[in-house]
Amino acid sequence: MTKIAFITGITGQDGSYLAELLLKKNYQVHGLIRRASSINLMRIEYLLTNPKYKNKIFLHYGDLADASRITELIEQIKPTEIYNLASQSDVKISFEMPLYTADVTGLGPLRILEAIKRIDKKIKFYQASSSEMFGKVSETPQNELTSFHPRSPYGVAKLYAYWITRIYRESYGIFACNGICFNHESERRGENFVTRKITRAAARIKLGLEKELVLGNLEARRDWGYAPEFVEAMYLMMQAPRPDDFVIATGETHSVKEFVTEAFKELGLDWKKYVKIGKQYLRPAEVDLLCGDISKAKKELHWQSKIKFKDLVKIMVRHDLELVKKEIGKK
């Protein structure tokens, strides 16, 4: 029997990589997209236009804030697996739009779980949890038993989604997993995220299109991995014999300054000549250090990251350099 996956956030970085992975595994893939005057399908256009995937990938309009539409789609699609990757995922914006963040990022997963409970408890559910839930960390590295202390409305919303996923698993016997994903980047990362902001600005500075890059806290340390590897972990969680929660990370931590240094060095530039600090990019409450312990994922999922930090930066910088060159060529 063909497995059917329903992916919220299919047009995002993770959603596009996951859709590609599942299509290669012969899934039928359905994706949720929000209705807007301008819909960005750039990350999945290559899947939609590939003849090999004709009648294999389908898009549906909807919103995690609309419970009736979510229920309607699940009844219509009859998925075997649901991957909830959609959210308001910008930490800084969550301070500016806390109510919206709580509604979509926090309550959105609850609406899906309620639909599963009413329609078919055999549907498997994956919740994209976040290392931002750890926030002001009590220990390093962080594992599945580390206490949570979120430092943003986004972190709080993700924490609610994490616990409601566990509660529905324990209360109703739903196969529901939390992937506590640490920062993961790629060429498809949104340009509002700091890593992509760095690599794109470095490429534009190299080609003479910009003169400076303004950033916030350069000392914040993160555990940065490669997104295509992280979606493999998501898939493996859903194939496990029992549902559980897993930290997905690299086990290494690097500062924003290190990311900047490597990105500019790849292009033969001295970052100190171009990077400035802007108070507007500082968070009201900062998360200083995140580093994941993937012992459980290694043991039970046989998963671990392979792409190292410096290679990740190179992949992103080289991609953005070529992208900017193409943009120049079109003008």
DSSP strand pairing (4-8 vs 81-84): parallel
Burial group, residue 136, by CB count within 10 angstroms (0-12, 13-18, 19+): middle
Same domain, 208 and 243: no
Among residues 132, 187, 262, 266, the one annotated as catalytic is: 132
Same domain, 216 and 231: no
| Kind plus residue range of the DSSP H or E element containing 128 | strand 124-130
In a domain, 303, yes or no: no
Domain residue limits at 25 = 4-185+226-248
Same domain, 211 and 324: yes
Q: Is 154 a catalytic residue?
A: yes
Same domain, 234 and 86: yes
Q: Is 266 a catalytic residue?
A: no
Same domain, 112 and 238: yes
What's the token pair of residue 255?
């500062």
In a domain, 295, yes or no: no
> How far, in Å, are 31, 70, 129 from residue 59 at the CA level?
5, 13, 24
**CATH number reported for the structural domain that contains residue 266 in this entry:** 3.90.25.10
Q: Give Cβ neighbours of residue 118 (< 8 Å, ≥ 6 apart).
A: 71
Q: Is 144 a catalytic residue?
A: no
Among residues 130, 131, 186, 305, the one annotated as catalytic is: 130
Same domain, 123 and 243: yes
What number of other Cβ atoms are within 10 A of residue 9's Cβ?
23
Same domain, 216 and 198: yes
In a domain, 23, yes or no: yes
> How far, in Å, are 64, 71, 175, 177, 306 from residue 99 at the CA level?
14, 23, 29, 25, 38
Same domain, 119 and 143: yes
Count: domains in the chain:
2
Q: Is 23 helix (H, G, I), strand (E, B) or coil?
A: helix
**CATH number reported for the structural domain that contains residue 230 in this entry:** 3.40.50.720
In a domain, 297, yes or no: no
Could you say which residues of the chain have pLDDT below 70? 37-38, 281, 283, 330-331
Same domain, 167 and 216: no
Same domain, 39 and 89: yes
Among residues 27, 126, 154, 162, the one annotated as catalytic is: 154
- Listed residue (126, 133, 193, 183) closest to 158, CA to CA: 133
For residue 192, the model assigns a pLDDT of 87
Same domain, 164 and 211: no
Same domain, 68 and 87: yes
> Between vectors from CA 19 to CA 14 and to CA 22, what angle results, nearest 5°?
120
